[in-house]
Amino acid sequence: MEFGSDLQIQVLEQAQRLWDIALGWLVSPAAWSQFALLVMAYLLALVVARKLRAPLTRLLTPPEDLDNPLAKTRRFVLIFVPLLLPLMAYAFTGIGESVTRSLFGSGAVIAFGKRVFLFLAVRILVREIIADPMMKLLGRYILIPVAALYALGLLEPAMAKLDETIVPLGNLSFSLLFALRFIVVGGAIFWMGRWSNDQSAQFLKKQDDMRPAMRELTAKAIEIGIFGVAFLLVMNIMGINLTSLAVLGGAIGVGLGFGLQKIASNFISGLILLLEGQATVGDYVELDGGEAGTIVKMGARAAILETFDGRWIVVPNEDFITTRVVNFSDSGSANRYEAPFSVSYDTDINKVPDLIEAAVAKHPRVLSEPFPPDCELRGFGDSGVDFAVEFWIEGIDDGANKFSSDVLFLIWNALKENEITIPYPHRVIELSGSIETRSQ
């Protein structure tokens, strides 16, 4: 309450001082000359900005199909073109200020106009250029108010008052100015860290020579390094002694030892998976618990499997280490499947293997390596002779792929074309003894 009343008194005193200065400017020839120079500087900046906007836009706009570093740099600079007018006005006003100070020994009016142009530049930057939600929030509620206070000459007294206001927090205490600086500096540094991490992740995705697991591991290592350096920079800039964080580190260690064992275990398991590369994004895996699907994402805590019916299964990384995992697509290896069928006992079964193998080999996705289709006699059933054909394909026999169904169609057509009968179950009932009939 005391802080608010003191600040209001200072604001009123500053407003009264500004009013007295404004009244003095009204009757001062030097002030009117400065105002005229201010208007001329703005008009000159308006003309120059209009002349430069179109050629600058053409120069900085790369072709849409270009995505090299130079094109990205040009697109990045292009978004700052709206700042051309206020920055040109600020520069011309600065020249006018040096002229008026050399002629009249003062330049308060034109210096005020220069600060106003800077405020307009900050306002355009926050409203039209900054797209990140967090940075836009910081700009709207911190950067624009600071620029407004600077334009009105109230920034220094406001900062002094914020520095004098101490906020107690247990055994610690800090000023409001320190808190605001921490928010601004921390937000800017961590935003830069996130931007750098996104750029490095996009760069790594384009490195086709690296294994997917190595790309994921490198991206995680870069992310940890970037945000670790950002944290140390924030602590150093704000003057926080890192040794004071030893108690906090000990508390975190105790928490990991008791309450966060699973999280730590899953994190370490994720690092092991990335290092070994036994399961990575794009692999179709089946876990010992019955979960099966394609790995679409591997995080620090868990992996996400997508089933062929569109469901996502979140599997902790620890399950990939402590349980049995069947990987159907590791390193792009082929998979073997089989299709069972039967023929009647009237068939010359010596002709069946060659006939079926030739028919299955016609399928465009059936491989000849590592082994061609192989038809085997499996047994003599109750209704017919049992066979099965083994075949190798590149992919998973599920979802969009219907390899077993296609192979069974090929078998059916081959047997029908060669007049081989596919048996169906039938039973022969034998009666022993005589059947007696009773008459009434």
Q: Which helix (H) or strand (E) holds 149?
A: helix 144-152
Of the candidate ranges 7-21, 334-348, 361-375, the one whose mean pLDDT is the lowest = 7-21
Residue 332's identity, in one-letter code, is G
b/e burial code for range 30-52 (CB count within 10 A of at least 16 → b): bbebbbebbeebbebbeebbeee
pLDDT digits (tens, 9 = 90+) for 274-331: 776 677 777 788 877 777 888 877 777 788 888 777 788 888 888 877 778 777 765 4
In terms of average pLDDT, the best of 116-120, 200-204, 252-256 is 116-120
- Beta-sheet strands, E only, within 265-412: 284-287, 292-298, 302-306, 312-316, 325-327, 335-343, 374-380, 385-393
Q: State the pLDDT at residue 298.
A: 77
Share of the chain above pLDDT 90, in %: 0
Share of the chain above pLDDT 70, in %: 75
Distance CA 260, CA 263 (A): 5
DSSP label of 308: T
How does pLDDT run across 229-284, given as a tens digit for each residue?
A: 777 777 776 666 666 566 656 666 666 566 667 777 777 777 777 776 677 777 78
Architecture of domain 262-330: Roll (2.30)
Question: Residue 331: what pLDDT?
Answer: 46
Name the amino acid, one letter, at 171: N
For 181-211, the DSSP string reads HHHHHHHHHHHHHHHHHHHHHHHHHT-TTS-
pLDDT of residue 213: 59
Task: Evaluate if pTM is beyond 0.75.
Answer: no
Min mean pLDDT across 48-52, 100-104, 151-155, 349-353 is at: 100-104
pLDDT of 146 reads 84
Contact between residue 277 and residue 320 where contact means Cβ atoms under 8 Å apart: no
The fold adopted by the segment(s) 334-417 is Alpha-Beta Plaits (3.30.70)
* Mean pLDDT over each residue of the chain, to the nearest integer: 76
The structural domains of the chain, with segments of one domain joined by +, span: 2-164, 166-240, 262-330, 334-417
Contact in structure between 100 and 37 (CB atoms under 8 Å)? yes
Q: What is the pLDDT of residues 382-399, one digit of tens each?
A: 888 899 988 888 777 665
